[in-house]
Amino acid sequence: MKGPDPELAKRLPPGQVLTAKWPVLTYGLTPRFDPRKWSFRCFGLVEQEVAWTWEEFLKLPRVEIASDVHCVTRWSKLDNRWEGVHIREILKHVRIKPEATAVMVHADPDYTTNIALSDLIDDDVLLALKHNDRDLEPDHGGPCRLVVPKVYFWKSAKWVRGLEFLDVNPPGFWEVNGYHMRADPWKEERYSDQETRAMQQMRAEAARKLRGR
Protein backbone atom coordinates (compact mmCIF):
# COMPACT_ATOMS: atom_id res chain seq x y z
CA MET A 1 0.00 0.00 0.00
CA LYS A 2 1.10 3.53 -0.72
CA GLY A 3 1.37 5.97 2.15
CA PRO A 4 0.19 9.54 1.85
CA ASP A 5 2.08 11.51 -0.80
CA PRO A 6 4.46 13.76 1.18
CA GLU A 7 4.26 16.51 -1.47
CA LEU A 8 0.47 16.62 -1.10
CA ALA A 9 0.69 16.40 2.68
CA LYS A 10 2.82 19.57 2.67
CA ARG A 11 -0.02 21.42 0.95
CA LEU A 12 -2.65 20.31 3.45
CA PRO A 13 -3.12 22.67 6.42
CA PRO A 14 -3.61 21.14 9.89
CA GLY A 15 -7.00 19.54 10.54
CA GLN A 16 -7.92 19.37 6.84
CA VAL A 17 -8.88 16.35 4.69
CA LEU A 18 -8.39 16.11 0.91
CA THR A 19 -11.42 15.84 -1.33
CA ALA A 20 -11.65 15.50 -5.10
CA LYS A 21 -15.30 16.49 -5.09
CA TRP A 22 -16.46 20.05 -4.74
CA PRO A 23 -19.11 20.44 -2.04
CA VAL A 24 -21.58 23.33 -2.29
CA LEU A 25 -21.79 25.47 0.83
CA THR A 26 -24.28 28.29 0.66
CA TYR A 27 -26.19 30.06 3.37
CA GLY A 28 -29.59 30.38 1.68
CA LEU A 29 -30.43 29.99 -1.99
CA THR A 30 -28.40 30.36 -5.17
CA PRO A 31 -29.36 33.78 -6.55
CA ARG A 32 -30.62 34.14 -10.11
CA PHE A 33 -28.20 35.98 -12.40
CA ASP A 34 -29.65 38.81 -14.47
CA PRO A 35 -26.98 40.30 -16.81
CA ARG A 36 -29.04 43.49 -17.24
CA LYS A 37 -29.07 44.17 -13.52
CA TRP A 38 -25.64 42.87 -12.54
CA SER A 39 -22.91 45.35 -11.69
CA PHE A 40 -19.60 45.27 -9.85
CA ARG A 41 -18.94 48.30 -7.67
CA CYS A 42 -15.95 49.71 -5.76
CA PHE A 43 -17.01 52.26 -3.15
CA GLY A 44 -16.35 53.59 0.34
CA LEU A 45 -12.95 55.19 0.90
CA VAL A 46 -12.17 55.80 -2.79
CA GLU A 47 -11.58 59.08 -4.63
CA GLN A 48 -14.40 58.18 -6.99
CA GLU A 49 -16.83 55.28 -7.05
CA VAL A 50 -16.31 52.85 -9.94
CA ALA A 51 -18.87 50.43 -11.34
CA TRP A 52 -18.86 47.96 -14.23
CA THR A 53 -21.87 46.54 -16.01
CA TRP A 54 -21.72 42.85 -16.92
CA GLU A 55 -20.87 43.79 -20.51
CA GLU A 56 -18.03 46.06 -19.36
CA PHE A 57 -16.74 43.51 -16.87
CA LEU A 58 -16.44 40.88 -19.61
CA LYS A 59 -14.08 43.18 -21.52
CA LEU A 60 -11.53 43.37 -18.70
CA PRO A 61 -8.28 41.46 -19.29
CA ARG A 62 -8.17 38.00 -17.72
CA VAL A 63 -5.59 35.86 -15.97
CA GLU A 64 -5.38 32.19 -15.09
CA ILE A 65 -4.31 31.25 -11.58
CA ALA A 66 -4.11 27.83 -9.94
CA SER A 67 -4.70 27.55 -6.22
CA ASP A 68 -5.79 25.28 -3.38
CA VAL A 69 -9.07 25.69 -1.52
CA HIS A 70 -9.37 25.15 2.24
CA CYS A 71 -12.84 25.18 3.78
CA VAL A 72 -13.28 25.68 7.51
CA THR A 73 -15.58 22.60 7.51
CA ARG A 74 -12.27 20.68 7.01
CA TRP A 75 -12.19 19.76 3.33
CA SER A 76 -9.44 20.94 1.03
CA LYS A 77 -9.44 20.76 -2.76
CA LEU A 78 -6.08 21.16 -4.48
CA ASP A 79 -5.10 22.40 -7.95
CA ASN A 80 -8.08 24.51 -8.91
CA ARG A 81 -7.54 26.45 -12.12
CA TRP A 82 -9.36 29.76 -12.00
CA GLU A 83 -9.80 32.19 -14.86
CA GLY A 84 -10.95 35.73 -14.21
CA VAL A 85 -10.02 39.33 -13.54
CA HIS A 86 -7.04 39.89 -11.27
CA ILE A 87 -7.66 42.07 -8.21
CA ARG A 88 -4.88 44.42 -9.36
CA GLU A 89 -6.60 44.81 -12.74
CA ILE A 90 -9.74 45.97 -10.91
CA LEU A 91 -7.76 48.29 -8.64
CA LYS A 92 -6.02 49.96 -11.61
CA HIS A 93 -9.34 51.74 -12.05
CA VAL A 94 -9.83 52.65 -8.39
CA ARG A 95 -8.03 55.35 -6.41
CA ILE A 96 -8.18 54.01 -2.87
CA LYS A 97 -7.82 56.65 -0.15
CA PRO A 98 -4.66 56.20 1.95
CA GLU A 99 -6.64 55.67 5.18
CA ALA A 100 -8.33 52.50 3.86
CA THR A 101 -7.00 49.39 5.62
CA ALA A 102 -9.82 46.87 5.23
CA VAL A 103 -12.48 45.81 2.76
CA MET A 104 -16.03 44.61 3.20
CA VAL A 105 -16.78 42.24 0.33
CA HIS A 106 -20.44 42.45 -0.73
CA ALA A 107 -22.15 39.56 -2.48
CA ASP A 108 -25.59 38.27 -3.38
CA PRO A 109 -27.87 37.47 -1.61
CA ASP A 110 -26.91 39.78 1.28
CA TYR A 111 -23.60 38.02 2.00
CA THR A 112 -20.63 39.93 3.33
CA THR A 113 -17.13 39.03 4.46
CA ASN A 114 -14.35 41.26 5.77
CA ILE A 115 -10.70 41.16 4.83
CA ALA A 116 -7.58 43.27 5.41
CA LEU A 117 -6.68 45.30 2.33
CA SER A 118 -3.19 43.75 2.37
CA ASP A 119 -4.70 40.24 2.26
CA LEU A 120 -6.95 41.19 -0.67
CA ILE A 121 -4.28 42.81 -2.83
CA ASP A 122 -2.06 39.85 -3.60
CA ASP A 123 -0.69 37.90 -6.56
CA ASP A 124 -3.13 34.98 -6.23
CA VAL A 125 -6.40 36.93 -5.72
CA LEU A 126 -8.91 37.23 -8.56
CA LEU A 127 -12.56 37.63 -9.44
CA ALA A 128 -13.13 34.24 -11.03
CA LEU A 129 -15.46 33.57 -13.93
CA LYS A 130 -14.21 30.07 -14.79
CA HIS A 131 -13.03 27.00 -12.90
CA ASN A 132 -11.04 24.29 -14.70
CA ASP A 133 -11.95 25.79 -18.11
CA ARG A 134 -15.70 25.86 -17.52
CA ASP A 135 -17.95 28.79 -16.66
CA LEU A 136 -18.40 28.89 -12.91
CA GLU A 137 -21.57 26.98 -12.07
CA PRO A 138 -24.33 29.02 -10.42
CA ASP A 139 -24.07 26.99 -7.19
CA HIS A 140 -20.34 27.73 -6.96
CA GLY A 141 -20.79 31.47 -7.39
CA GLY A 142 -21.36 31.85 -11.12
CA PRO A 143 -21.10 34.14 -12.91
CA CYS A 144 -18.41 35.65 -10.67
CA ARG A 145 -16.83 34.91 -7.31
CA LEU A 146 -13.91 36.22 -5.34
CA VAL A 147 -11.03 33.79 -4.76
CA VAL A 148 -8.61 34.47 -1.89
CA PRO A 149 -6.62 31.22 -1.48
CA LYS A 150 -4.63 32.18 1.63
CA VAL A 151 -7.68 32.26 3.93
CA TYR A 152 -10.53 29.82 4.59
CA PHE A 153 -12.95 29.58 1.69
CA TRP A 154 -15.84 31.45 3.35
CA LYS A 155 -13.90 34.66 2.54
CA SER A 156 -14.08 33.75 -1.18
CA ALA A 157 -17.50 35.31 -1.66
CA LYS A 158 -19.67 33.73 -4.33
CA TRP A 159 -21.84 36.04 -6.49
CA VAL A 160 -19.58 38.91 -5.56
CA ARG A 161 -20.93 42.37 -6.41
CA GLY A 162 -18.74 44.91 -4.71
CA LEU A 163 -15.80 45.97 -2.59
CA GLU A 164 -16.26 48.57 0.13
CA PHE A 165 -13.03 50.19 1.29
CA LEU A 166 -12.92 51.03 5.01
CA ASP A 167 -10.61 52.42 7.69
CA VAL A 168 -11.99 49.90 10.23
CA ASN A 169 -12.35 46.13 9.88
CA PRO A 170 -15.90 45.24 10.95
CA PRO A 171 -16.97 41.56 10.85
CA GLY A 172 -18.92 40.20 7.88
CA PHE A 173 -21.66 37.57 7.91
CA TRP A 174 -19.79 34.51 9.24
CA GLU A 175 -17.41 36.65 11.25
CA VAL A 176 -20.37 38.12 13.19
CA ASN A 177 -21.44 34.53 13.78
CA GLY A 178 -18.23 33.50 15.53
CA TYR A 179 -15.81 32.85 12.69
CA HIS A 180 -12.32 34.31 12.63
CA MET A 181 -11.55 37.83 11.38
CA ARG A 182 -8.35 36.73 9.56
CA ALA A 183 -8.97 32.99 8.87
CA ASP A 184 -5.47 31.70 8.07
CA PRO A 185 -5.84 27.91 7.56
CA TRP A 186 -2.15 27.30 8.36
CA LYS A 187 -2.76 28.76 11.82
CA GLU A 188 -6.20 27.12 12.06
CA GLU A 189 -7.83 30.48 12.63
CA ARG A 190 -11.33 29.01 12.58
CA TYR A 191 -13.31 30.72 15.34
CA SER A 192 -13.20 34.12 16.95
CA ASP A 193 -13.03 32.69 20.49
CA GLN A 194 -9.43 31.92 19.56
CA GLU A 195 -8.89 35.64 19.09
CA THR A 196 -10.59 36.31 22.42
CA ARG A 197 -8.28 33.83 24.12
CA ALA A 198 -5.26 35.43 22.48
CA MET A 199 -6.45 38.85 23.62
CA GLN A 200 -7.04 37.58 27.17
CA GLN A 201 -3.54 36.15 27.22
CA MET A 202 -2.13 39.47 26.06
CA ARG A 203 -4.06 41.35 28.74
CA ALA A 204 -2.97 38.91 31.46
CA GLU A 205 0.61 39.24 30.27
CA ALA A 206 0.42 43.05 30.37
CA ALA A 207 -1.11 42.96 33.87
CA ARG A 208 1.68 40.66 35.11
CA LYS A 209 4.32 43.00 33.75
CA LEU A 210 2.69 45.98 35.45
CA ARG A 211 2.51 44.17 38.79
CA GLY A 212 6.12 43.05 38.47
CA ARG A 213 7.41 46.62 38.20
Ligand X SMILES: Nc1nc2c(c(=O)[nH]1)N[C@H]1C(S)=C(S)[C@@H](COP(=O)(O)O)O[C@H]1N2
Q: Which residues bind ligand X (CB under 6 A)?
A: 22-27, 71, 107-108, 111, 140-141, 153-154, 156-159
Strands of the sheet with 39-44, listed across from one edge:
50-53, 39-44, 160-166, 102-107, 111-116
- Tallying the residues shown for the chain, one arrives at 213
Residues 136-158 as b/e (b if ≥16 CB within 10 A, e otherwise) read beeebbbbbbbbbbbbbbbbbbb
Name the binder of 129 from ligand X, Mo ion, none, CB < 5-8 A by kind: none
Q: Tell me whether residue 69 or residue 126 sits nearer to Mo ion (CB atom).
A: 69
Name the binder of 181 from ligand X, Mo ion, none, CB < 5-8 A by kind: none
Q: Tell me whether residue 93 or residue 128 sits nearer to ligand X (CB atom).
A: 128
Name the binder of 27 from ligand X, Mo ion, none, CB < 5-8 A by kind: ligand X
Name the binder of 156 from ligand X, Mo ion, none, CB < 5-8 A by kind: ligand X
Q: Tell me whether residue 43 or residue 75 sits nearer to Mo ion (CB atom).
A: 75
Name the binder of 170 from ligand X, Mo ion, none, CB < 5-8 A by kind: none
Q: Tell me whether residue 86 or residue 113 sits nearer to ligand X (CB atom).
A: 113
Shortest spacing between CB 76 and ligand X, in angstroms: 11
Tell me the β-bridge partners of 166: 102
Shortest spacing between CB 157 and ligand X, in angstroms: 4
Of 143, 164, 155, nearest to 43 (Cα)? 164
Shortest spacing between CB 26 and ligand X, in angstroms: 4
Strands 75-86 and 126-131, sheet pairing: antiparallel
Residues near Mo ion (CB under 5 A) are 25, 71, 154
Q: Tell me whether residue 139 or residue 167 sits nearer to ligand X (CB atom).
A: 139
Give φ, ψ of 168 to 5 degrees: -130, 170
